[in-house]
Amino acid sequence: MRSVAALLLLLLCASVATACSGDRDPNPNAKPLPPSSYVLPERIVQQIRDHQDDANRIIDYFTKGPGQGQTYTRLASLVDTVGPRPSGSASLERAIDMMLGNLKADRLDNVHGEPAWIPHWVRGAEYVQLLEPHDFTMNILSLGSSVGTGPQGITAEAIVVSSFEELTNRSAEAKGKIVVFNQPFVSYGETSVYRTQGASAAAKVGGVASLIRTIAPFSIYSPHTGVQFYTDGIPKIPTACITIEDAEMMARMHARGQRIVLKVYLEAQNLNDTLSRNTVAEVVGSTHPEQVVLVSGHLDSWDIAEAAMDDAGGAIISWQALSVVKALGLKPKRTMRALLWTSEEFGGVGSQQYYNSQANNTGNYSIVMESDLGTFTPTGLEFTGSPAATAIIQQIGQLLVNANATVVDCSLTFRHLLFCSLSGVPGASLHNDNDDYFYFHHSRGDTMTVEDPVALDLCAAVWAVYAYVIADLDDMLPR
């Protein structure tokens, strides 16, 4: 039942996000919104302007002061020491322990872990062998929560389709076959539904396994994994992603009328849920400690790479936002809270449990900020909120003119839809030049090599300025 609930949450989130921004993809070419029609009272404008010196101190700390290069160093230390951090694994718990120690070493307040029960899925050995029309071993990755094939594997003829509609129209041909999806990449938000629902769609028409063209716009023979969800009442069949190159190769074979025979072997297993932790640290507010500005990223990752981009970078800049405030002796009026989520990759499990614990306290949240779309050169914020709150965020952005980070793009962070949609809390994500993000996303290429020290310094500075100024205003952001 949890998997169905998670799928419903994903679909609901995607639909609301679409209403705001078109889809969930990063938009590196976004232009700043025109000035809000809401006219801010002069006292609020002046409050924000009065933070220019603080904003400059934060920017200078990261770009030419003691924090220069620190974000890259801290990020590399985490991912190089711990490596991949899949949900339910001992390495994820090692990362959490390491971060708790780091947060305490920076003398942040109320550092602790909050329990969360999370899925534990393991990949095991895996391969897909093309047997006809020639012998060839493909590069694949099982999809998260997939079942295994059993020790004998599955050998069957394949059918190649380009859409769910084509599968439905050819359902009589699919029974007893391995269904290969060769869907074109349109956008991550639109195309990832093949990854999340492809297995159940194939099983519904009698398919015995499904292979999904990797959800990415570009490939150098690189598969990209991710979570998938089974539908109740439909048999669970093994599923994996394949490269764009192999999906297109089989589509050409199929179009020529050639018989395609594959052997799929997956050792994937769903084990019992395990107890993990959301990692929490604070700078307690001086005037309204009960009110919260939350910055966040997730510590877990897939098991195939060190995942510097998705999403250790977002977790580290959230730590840095508090660290710089503490280091500079700044005293925000309300509490700044860093929350490093556990088990985000399996449908935001950690954040859902945190929301459940805070559902009666959302009135004390000024904003929920999450960085999970890369930490490349920052350009501003993606934001969702009322016209008055939007005008405030745009005004804060003017403090970052010298950092070229004034964009305010109307987009919604889907992980915290419960806060934003159900509770009306303003939400934000880091907006950055991440047009290549999905080249590396959920692949073995997500390593420190994709990160840049200068860009990380700027990301930490921008994230910290927005969070600190919002936390230090006289009033919370208006709903």
Cis peptide before 435 (omega within 30 of 0): no
Give the end-to-end CA distance of the chain in Å, rounded to a whole number. Answer: 33
Rounded CA gap, 337 and 108, in Å? 10
Q: Parallel, antiparallel, or unpaired: how do β-strands 178-181 and 126-132 relate?
A: unpaired
Amino acid identity for residue 117 in this structure = W
126-132 vs 427-432, strand pairing mode: unpaired
Q: Judge whether 373 and 434 are in contact, CB under 8 Å.
A: yes
Q: Would you say 312 and 78 are in contact if contact means Cβ atoms under 8 Å apart?
A: yes
Assigned token pair, 330: 């700044």
Residues forming beta bridges with residue 140, ordered by sequence position? 242
**Cβ of 53: how many Cβ atoms within 10 Å?**
9
Q: Rg of the chain over CA atoms, in angstroms?
A: 23
Q: Which residues face 283 on adjacent strands?
A: 336
Q: In the β-sheet with 407-410, what is the strand arrangement from edge to edge?
A: 109-122, 269-283, 334-341, 288-298, 365-370, 427-432, 378-384, 407-410
**Given the structure tokens 């990261």, which residue do they identify?**
62
**One-letter amino acid for residue 423 of the chain:** S
**Residue 113 token pair:** 């872990």
Residue of 126, 344, 345, 451 marked catalytic: 344
Residue 282: active-site member: no
SS3 271: strand
Q: Tell me how far apart the alpha carbons of residues 466 and 477 are, in angstroms, rounded to a whole number.
A: 12
Q: List the structure tokens of 281.
A: 């640290």
288-298 and 365-370 as β-strands: parallel, antiparallel, unpaired?
A: parallel
What gap in Å lies between CA 467 and CA 477, rounded to an integer? 12
What are the catalytic residues? 344
